[in-house]
């Protein structure tokens, strides 16, 4: 028996790829991914969608939050293979290039941003919250954003911005051009 035959198969370096088909921001992609590839790496490294940030890579910080079929998920906790036949939305997908979605406008105007590193993840979590709860209270917002760590703002203006975003979305505000 060779040395390799004595090693459990699950301990061998996996080099096979898996073919997946996934919709990202409304565009269909057919991709070959390694079984170990994380969704965040697929988005950033294969598709160039670097608006999804990487912080901890252990599910703690929320910087990598995207939507999977409308639900906020931490993309460092999802395998790329799990995106097969699913719909992914990233921060690049919330408004057309050169426009700001009402929630982005609200974060800008209410100073819900300082360095901005957490902001894409916070916005994706907030959009999932507003989709299920169009008029969230401060407690609702703070609870929904428990998994999104911000080292800068102290969260106060983020909560104000999400409240304002919910109001703008409820009244039907549309993305605005920034040009
Ligand atoms: S990078 Fe995914 S939760 Fe921190
Ligand atoms: S604005 Fe800097 S981490 Fe949130």
How far, in Å, is the centroid of ligand 1 from the Cα of 77? 8
Question: What are the residues facing 87 on neighbouring strands?
Answer: 23
Does the beta carbon of 114 lie inside 6 Å of ligand 2?
Answer: yes
| Average of per-residue pLDDT across 12-31 | 89
Contact yes or no for 141/160 (Cβ under 8 A)? no
> What are the pLDDT digits (tens) for 84-106?
999 999 999 999 989 999 999 99
* pLDDT at 4 (0 to 100): 44
DSSP letters of 53-112?
--S-SSSSS-TTEEEETTEEEETTSSBGGGGTT-EEE-GGGSS-TTEE-HHHHHHHHTT-
How far, in Å, is the centroid of ligand 2 from the Cα of 122? 9
* 99-174 homologous superfamily: [2Fe-2S]-binding domain (1.10.150.120)
The more confident residue out of 136 and 5 is 136
The residues spanned by each domain of the chain are 15-93, 99-174
Substitution site in 41, 51, 64 for ligand 1 pocket (most atoms within 8 Å of beta carbon): 64
* pLDDT at 92 (0 to 100): 98
How far, in Å, is the centroid of ligand 2 from the Cα of 39? 22
Mean pLDDT, rounded, of the chain: 93
Domain range 15-93, CATH architecture: Roll (3.10)
Both structure tokens of 28: 């269909």
The more confident residue out of 166 and 178 is 166
> Does 121 score more than 70 pLDDT?
yes
């Amino acid at each position: 028996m060779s040395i390799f035959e004595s090693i459990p198969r699950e301990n061998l370096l996996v080099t096979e790829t898996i073919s997946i088909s996934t919709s990202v921001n409304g565009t269909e992609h057919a991709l070959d991914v390694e079984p170990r590839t994380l969704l965040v790496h697929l988005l950033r490294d294969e598709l160039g969608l670097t608006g999804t940030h990487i912080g901890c890579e252990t599910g703690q910080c929320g910087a990598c939050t995207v939507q999977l079929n409308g639900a906020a998920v931490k993309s460092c906790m999802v395998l790329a293979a799990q995106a097969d036949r699913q719909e992914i939305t990233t921060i690049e997908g919330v408004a057309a290039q050169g426009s700001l979605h009402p929630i982005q406008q609200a974060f800008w105007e209410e100073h819900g941003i300082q360095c901005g590193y957490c902001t894409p993840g916070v916005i994706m979590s907030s959009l999932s919250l507003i989709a299920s709860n169009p008029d969230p209270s401060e407690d609702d917002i703070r609870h929904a954003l428990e998994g999104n760590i911000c080292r800068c703002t102290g969260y106060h203006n983020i909560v104000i911005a999400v409240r304002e975003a919910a109001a703008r979305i409820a009244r039907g505000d549309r993305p605005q051009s920034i040009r």
